A and B are shown apart, each in its own frame.
Chain A
Amino acid sequence: MRANTHFAFFDEGSKKEIRRATLKAVAIPGYQVPFASREMPIARGWGTGGLQLTLSLIGKTDVLKVIDQGADESVNAVSIKKLVQETTGVQVTDQTEEADLIQSRHRIPEIPLTKDQILVLQVPMPEPLRPVEAREYATKRMHSEDDYSGAWLMLFEQIVKYGKTATAADHPVYVNGRYVMAPSPIPRFDNPKMHQSEALILLGAGREKKIYAVPPYTAVESLAFEDYPFAVESFEGQECRLCGSAHIFLDELIDQKTGETVYQCNDTSYCMEQLNSTEKAGVENSYA
């Protein structure tokens, strides 16, 4: 780390701008705060919103974890980790419990987060009403007037067409009973983890220049009709082929040789931890 540069890549003015937007976002849960999104050394749409939040929040003693679709070792996660480490010198980790700051794309870790942690989510499309209304000034007005019939209409259409809500990810949520928010493309499985979360959840969209937040202990309710209640993805009867965990979010994979469908933990660090603990127990047992 060179001493003549600012800490954490950004100049102080940029950090101030992003922190100011973040504070406003925390004060108005679910409201999309516009901010002056910076030019980053990675392309827009590759996590610049999350990265800007991370770089504006990070301190020298923080421990960082970066997840990309549940994986700690994918290219995107590794490059972001490298960039932050080279410009701050902070420690990075794969362990969810060890981290103070977790930047994630499309997943919330399986291990429940605590009040000492901050989760930063990367958001490609922050506007839940965009598919029904292309104009920004119109969607802003709809938010201000609490007019969310468009978001409901999208779910209604899916039910009419497919017999169920077909949101694979990014199922819209009501935050604190007021704003409808895009929770970023996390699977429906992760939506309930946002409800009354102990950790602060910040969402950043670099390309769309928006920051929004779910403060700790905030009600987050997934949109659902009376006769079609909200349901998470079901992995009934399946377990991870590596660590044997059930009741977590599993990836469905097809074995290229046998053509069989197999399931595996999506959260790689969770899987590794399960494997290590069984290994450790096995070693301890064999010594005893």
Chain B
Amino acid sequence: MHEEPILKVRNLRKQFGSGCSHCANLDSNRLEKNYCTVCGTVYAVRDVSLDLYPGEILGIVGESGSGKSTLMQCLYFDTDVASGEAYIQTPALTGTNVFELSSQQKRSIRNHDYGMVYQNPVHGLKMNFSSVGNIAEKLIAAGNRNVGEMEATSKRLLGNVHIPLHRMKEEPRNFSGGMQQRVQIAKALSNNPPILFLDEVTTGLDLSVQANVLDLIKKIQRELGISMIVVSHDLAVIRMLADRTIVMLNGEIIEQGLTDQVLEDPQHAYTQQLVYSLL
């Protein structure tokens, strides 16, 4: 069956620094990892292209500093890209490179089409506002002005992520890390986004909570058919969640394919090292 990707990314580049004649041509392999020794420019993401298909979970693995999170931030418009294109398969945006849209339009995509769960809940939540309010914030941003409706939606979502009813009006700062992460997931899901970004969601959580959160993500995918990009350096998480996996190193994609294939039969030397250090 031929399917159209819901999110198509082409040649996404993010660099810190202006570059110089020494490093202008990225193919010439003159960088020290992702860093130009002459001008000090860091190429955090180097011409990454990827496709995300409807209903699939795409895993991204790689070591610290390989550009996974920067890639996510670029896709979610948290930071500007140096160059590259991204296309979202929605009726209004077909054929439009979303990186070229105005900041208002980008914000509208974030509010209507995207959900994001950050590694650190501090970035995704307002810690001094109630959990219900945190979820309502995204609904308000998407144009809802009905308190009763938003409160009902928030309560339903918080129920889905197993936050006890009597704590719904509490601020997330009083919650444990796992609970905060679940509130973040509820917030990201609040207006049924077709695309969800998960950046190291289980890192730093204890194993039982981790299992809870992973179960929840799997359930969301099964029941709501949301497409997700999951970034993690934990191969077990990737193995459990992702249908396809991309391996990043120094800002580049060095290997991609079905998760089982990448993990069972790694081709690139780095991937081999990564997989064997797990076992």
Question: By DSSP majority rule, is chain B's interface helix, strand, loop, or mixed?
Answer: helix
Counting CB contacts under 8 A, is B151 at the interface? yes
B104 touches A145 (CB 8 A): yes
Determine how close the nearest CB of chain A comes to the CB of B196; give it in whole angstroms: 20
Residue of B nearest to A131 (CB): B128
Determine how close the nearest CB of chain A comes to the CB of B109; give it in whole angstroms: 13
**Contact partner of A157 among B130, B141, B148, CB < 8 A?**
B130
Given contacts A147-B107, A153-B129, contact A160 B146 (CB under 8 A): no
Counting CB contacts under 8 A, is B132 at the interface? yes
Which residues on the B side are within 8 Å of A227 (C-beta)? 146-149
A152 touches B140 (CB 8 A): yes
A13-35: CB near B (< 8 Å → 1, else 0) gives 00000000000000000000000
B169 touches A149 (CB 8 A): no
A157 touches B146 (CB 8 A): no
Taking CB atoms and an 8 Å cut-off, the chain A residues in 224-280 that contact chain B are 225-228
Assembled-state Cα–Cα distance A153/B129 (Å): 9
Determine how close the nearest CB of chain A comes to the CB of B116; give it in whole angstroms: 15
Which residues on the A side are within 8 Å of B103 (C-beta)? 141, 145
Residue of A nearest to B134 (CB): A153
Residue of A nearest to B137 (CB): A153
B107 touches A160 (CB 8 A): no
A156 touches B140 (CB 8 A): yes
Which residues on the B side are within 8 Å of A226 (C-beta)? 145-147
Assembled-state Cα–Cα distance A92/B74 (Å): 60
Determine how close the nearest CB of chain B comes to the CB of A21; give it in whole angstroms: 26
**Contact partner of B133 among A147, A156, A225, A228, CB < 8 A?**
A156
Counting CB contacts under 8 A, is B88 at the interface? no
Counting CB contacts under 8 A, is A135 at the interface? no
Assembled-state Cα–Cα distance A141/B102 (Å): 13
**Contact partner of B137 among A141, A145, A146, A149, CB < 8 A?**
A149
Counting CB contacts under 8 A, is B126 at the interface? yes
B104 touches A160 (CB 8 A): no
Taking CB atoms and an 8 Å cut-off, the chain B residues in 77-136 that contact chain A are 103-104, 107, 126, 129-130, 132-133, 136
Question: By DSSP majority rule, is chain A's interface helix, strand, loop, or mixed?
Answer: helix
Interface residues contributed by chain B, number (CB under 8 Å)? 20
Counting CB contacts under 8 A, is A159 at the interface? yes
Determine how close the nearest CB of chain A comes to the CB of B258; give it in whole angstroms: 40
Given contacts A149-B141, A225-B146, A225-B147, contact A160 B169 (CB under 8 A): yes
Assembled-state Cα–Cα distance A161/B147 (Å): 12
Counting CB contacts under 8 A, is A132 at the interface? yes
Counting CB contacts under 8 A, is B150 at the interface? yes
Which residues on the B side are within 8 Å of A225 (C-beta)? 145-147
Determine how close the nearest CB of chain B comes to the CB of A26; give it in whole angstroms: 26
Given contacts A132-B126, A225-B146, contact A160 B151 (CB under 8 A): yes
A120-133: CB near B (< 8 Å → 1, else 0) gives 00000000000010
Determine how close the nearest CB of chain B comes to the CB of A51; give it in whole angstroms: 34
Which residues on the A side are within 8 Å of B149 (C-beta)? 227
A146 touches B145 (CB 8 A): no
Which residues on the A side are within 8 Å of B147 (C-beta)? 156, 159-160, 225-228
Assembled-state Cα–Cα distance A150/B137 (Å): 7
Residue of B nearest to A224 (CB): B145
Residue of A nearest to B141 (CB): A149
Which residues on the A side are within 8 Å of B107 (C-beta)? 145, 147
Assembled-state Cα–Cα distance A152/B136 (Å): 10
Which residues on the A side are within 8 Å of B145 (C-beta)? 152, 225-226
Assembled-state Cα–Cα distance A132/B137 (Å): 11
Determine how close the nearest CB of chain B comes to the CB of A94; give it in whole angstroms: 42
B232-268: CB near A (< 8 Å → 1, else 0) gives 0000000000000000000000000000000000000
Residue of A nearest to B148 (CB): A227
Determine how close the nearest CB of chain A comes to the CB of B14; give it in whole angstroms: 20
Assembled-state Cα–Cα distance A228/B136 (Å): 15
Residues of A within 8 A of B (CB): 132, 141, 145-147, 149-150, 152-153, 156-157, 159-161, 225-228
Report 28 cross-chain contacts, Cβ distance below 8 Å, ordered by A residue.
Answer: A132-B126, A132-B129, A145-B104, A145-B107, A146-B104, A147-B141, A150-B137, A153-B129, A153-B133, A153-B137, A153-B140, A156-B133, A156-B137, A156-B147, A156-B150, A157-B129, A157-B130, A160-B147, A160-B151, A161-B169, A225-B145, A226-B145, A226-B146, A226-B147, A227-B146, A227-B147, A227-B148, A228-B147
Extra inter-chain contacts (13) besides given A145-B104, A152-B145, A156-B136, CB under 8 Å: A145-B103, A149-B137, A153-B133, A153-B136, A157-B129, A157-B130, A160-B169, A161-B130, A225-B145, A226-B146, A226-B147, A227-B147, A227-B148
